[in-house]
Structure 1
Amino acid sequence: MVDTPDDTTIVMLPPPGDVVAPHGFPADPRPGGAPQIFLDAMDIRIKVFCEEQNCALEPELDEDDPRSWHWVAYQQGHPVSVIRIVPPPHGPHPNGFYDPSEEPYVKLGRVATIPSARGKGINRKLIAAAFRYHAAHKEETSTGWNGLVLTHAQVAVEKMYSKLGFTADARLGQWDEEGIEHVGMWKRLA
C-alpha cells in the first residue's frame, strides 16, 4: 500500500489465480469469492469501458486477469482508478504481427479512471507506483524480463502515454478494439 500526499491510497493485488474465474471463461465480471481489490478494479473497468465507452461486458474479465497484477487507487476509501500489468508470454499483437524472438515484455492495460477523478494525476501516480514495484521485482514479474513495457493505448490518449515516456511502434500500426482506435507503444523501465 502506498499513500500519496493528496489522500490517494494505492493498493496492489498480486495475480489472484483461478479464484476470479473458477469455472473458466467466459466468466462473471464480478466473481463471488474474489478479493475486494479485484472487485473494486472490475467495478471501475465496467463503469469506464462498458458503461461509458460502450464496450462489451462479457470479455471484460479475460484469461489475463488471473495471472495479472491489479493496481487500484482509492480516494477517501473509494476506488477511483485502476491498471493491470500482464506478464509474459503474450500472443500475437492485434495487427497479427508476431516475432517469436521478441524480448519478453509486460503489458500495461485496463487503464481506467472514473470521470470525477480525471485530470488530477491519479492515473500517473498509479502507473508510477506499479512501474517502481515491477522494476524492483523483475524476477517476480517474469523470468528474463528486463523492464520492457507495452501498452495498447487508445489513440485519444496517446499524448498522455508519450508524456509518460512511451513511444509508438510503427510495426504495430493502429487497430480497432470495440470501436476504439488503439496504437501500440513501448517504454523501458530503468
Structure 2
Amino acid sequence: MEIRITRDTMSDIYFDALRIRNQVFVKEQGVPYELEVGNALEEAAAVHFVLYDAGVAQGTVRLLTNPAGSSALIQRMAIFKESRGRGYANVLLEELVVFAQNAGIEKLELHAQLSARGLYDKHGFAEVGDVFEEAGIAHITMEKGLNKQKNH
C-alpha cells in the first residue's frame, strides 16, 4: 500500500482522485458533477491524497487549508465500492492527520455523511452542531484538535 500526495491538478495522481470521486459521488451517490468538482480554485488549493494498493488507485481524500493556515477541511473521502472494508479509509485518514500536524494545522473539520460517522469518531473526531443536508445527503460537522505530536 502506498499513498501519493499532490497539489498538481494536471498530475496522474489528481486524475486518479477525480476518477474515484466521480465513481463514488457522482455515479454511486447521485451528486451532480458540478457540485463534486465545481470549484477549480478549491481543487488547485487542496492537497490531494490517493491510496494505491498493488499500484491501483483505491481511495482518495483532500485537505483544504484555510488562508490563515491554522485549520483545514477534510473533504471528498471516497473509496471504490468494491474496495471498502479493507481499512483504506483508516490509512488515508491517518496519513492526512500526520500531514496536517506536520504542517502546523491546529484543527481539522469535516462534513461526514451520517453513514461514515463511526470512522471519524474512531479517529478522535467529535460531532458539532446538528445534522444538515449537503448535495441531498445527510451530514454532520465533526472536528478534531491537533497537537504538535503525532497521535497513534
Give the TM-score normalised by structure 2. 0.89
Alignment of 1:7-156 (within 5 A): 8-13=1-6, 15-16=7-8, 20=9, 34-61=10-37, 62=39, 63-89=41-67, 104-138=70-104, 145=105, 147-156=106-115
The one-letter code of the counterpart of 1:150 is E
Q: Is the 8 A contact 2:50 2:61 kept in 1?
A: yes
Looking at structure 2, the residues matched to 76 and 104 of structure 1 have their Cα atoms a distance apart, in angstroms, of 35
Q: Is the 8 A contact 2:110 2:143 kept in 1?
A: yes
Higher fraction of strand: 2
Give structure 1 regions of 4+ aligned residues with deviation exceeding 2 angstroms: none
Query: What value does the CA root-mean-square deviation take over the aligned residues?
Result: 1.6
Structure number with greater Rg is: 1
Looking at structure 2, the residues matched to 37 and 123 of structure 1 have their Cα atoms a distance apart, in angstroms, of 17
Higher fraction of helix: 2
Looking at structure 2, the residues matched to 39 and 88 of structure 1 have their Cα atoms a distance apart, in angstroms, of 24
Deviations 1:41-80, CA, capped at 9 Å, x for gaps: 0000000000000100122222311100000001111110
Looking at structure 1, the residues matched to 146 and 83 of structure 2 have their Cα atoms a distance apart, in angstroms, of 26
**Runs of 5+ in structure 1 lacking a partner?**
1-7, 21-33, 91-102, 139-144
**Runs of 5+ in structure 2 lacking a partner?**
148-152
